[in-house]
């Protein structure tokens, strides 16, 4: 994927690859420096070394490679994503500096039911006779919050207080820079079925954007439990 490549996610979000340092070869070279060796080209047998590193938790070679993304996602997605702390750096748009636009909230394409066997999770779609009412309620609540936010601003209330009434579905933007090991850890945890469907879509996009540069490293890291 070229730098600046962007994948659309959900109704208004995206993941954009801003910058990248390293590749599978740089992982191999970071490991081989132990023997005073360096290679110019990645060979098939280097895959085995990468698999060995991941399997035996010799993880430091994966932390010389870094990836930087620009992400637009709803706040509830970032609440989950930002729990990933180690090896990452975050910067986010500030509602203290900027006024939020009035149509920037996430509208689900369908409403899921509460899961019966997973207290956090969801399953299937709600009953068809409730779908219009659910969408109407959801959109009205978002609209009301945004209208009242605008009203508070027009009354002279500062942005940093007015924003407190905005919903979790509001879109925000961040720069996220992360080591390859930390990105792989994020992809592994947030692609699996217990993670919320919306963050799974972001995890898939992140993976797609970097997979061609780190195919062997990602395959190895994603098949282990390395943190």
Phi, psi of 80 (to 5 degrees): -80, -45
Judged by CB under 6 A, does residue 227 bind ligand FAD? yes
Q: Which is nearer to ligand FAD, 134 or 189 (CB)?
A: 189
Least distance from ligand FAD to the Cβ atom of residue 53, Å:
17
Cross-strand pairs, 177: 68, 89
- Report the SS3 class of residue 149: helix
Q: Which is nearer to ligand FAD, 101 or 227 (CB)?
A: 227
What is the widest separation between alpha-carbon atoms in the chain? 68
Q: Which stretch binds ligand FAD (CB under 6 A): 23-31, 34-42, 161-169, 182-190?
A: 182-190
Buried b or exposed e, range 156-182, using 16+ CB within 10 angstroms: eeebeebbeebbebbbbbbbbbbbbbb
Least distance from ligand FAD to the Cβ atom of residue 61, Å:
17
Least distance from ligand FAD to the Cβ atom of residue 176, Å:
12
Q: How many residues bind ligand FAD (CB under 6 A)?
A: 10
Q: Footprint of ligand FAD on residues 77-136 (CB under 6 A)?
A: 83-86
Judged by CB under 6 A, does residue 212 bind ligand FAD? no
Q: Which is nearer to ligand FAD, 57 or 139 (CB)?
A: 57
Q: Which is nearer to ligand FAD, 72 or 185 (CB)?
A: 185
Instruction: Tell me the CA distances in angstroms from 196 to 11, 16, 123, one per residue in order.
Output: 16, 21, 11
Are 105 and 142 contacting, i.e. CB atoms less than 8 angstroms apart?
yes
Judged by CB under 6 A, does residue 193 bind ligand FAD? no
> Which active-site residues does the annotation give?
190
- Report the SS3 class of residue 90: strand
Strands of the 13-21 sheet, one edge to the other: 6-9, 13-21, 66-74, 171-179, 88-92
Residue number, nearest CB to ligand FAD: 227
| Residue from 185, 202, 203, 209 in contact with ligand FAD (CB under 6 A) | 185
The kind and range of the H/E element at 10 are none
Contact footprint for ligand FAD (CB under 6 A): 83-86, 182, 185, 189, 194-195, 227
């Amino acid at each position: 994927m070229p730098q600046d490549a962007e994948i659309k996610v959900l109704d208004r979000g995206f993941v954009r690859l801003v910058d990248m340092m390293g590749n599978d070869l740089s992982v191999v070279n970071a490991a081989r420096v132990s023997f005073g060796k360096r290679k110019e080209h990645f060979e098939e047998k280097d895959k085995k070394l990468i698999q060995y590193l991941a399997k035996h938790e010799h993880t430091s070679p994966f932390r010389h490679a870094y990836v930087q993304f620009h992400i637009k996602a709803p706040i509830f997605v970032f609440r989950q994503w930002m729990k990933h702390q180690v090896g990452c750096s975050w910067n986010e748009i500030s509602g203290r500096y900027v006024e939020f636009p009035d149509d920037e909230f996430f509208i689900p394409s369908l409403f899921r039911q509460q899961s019966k066997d997973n207290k956090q999770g969801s399953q299937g779609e709600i009953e068809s006779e409730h779908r219009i009412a659910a969408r109407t309620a959801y959109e009205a609540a978002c609209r009301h919050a945004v209208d009242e936010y605008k009203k508070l601003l027009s009354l002279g209330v500062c942005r940093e207080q007015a924003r407190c009434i905005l919903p979790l579905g509001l879109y925000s933007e961040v720069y996220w820079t992360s080591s390859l090991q930390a990105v792989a850890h994020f992809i592994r945890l947030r692609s699996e079925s217990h993670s919320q469907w919306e963050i799974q879509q972001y995890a898939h996009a992140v993976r797609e954007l970097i997979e061609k540069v780190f195919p062997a490293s990602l395959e190895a890291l994603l098949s282990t439990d390395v943190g």
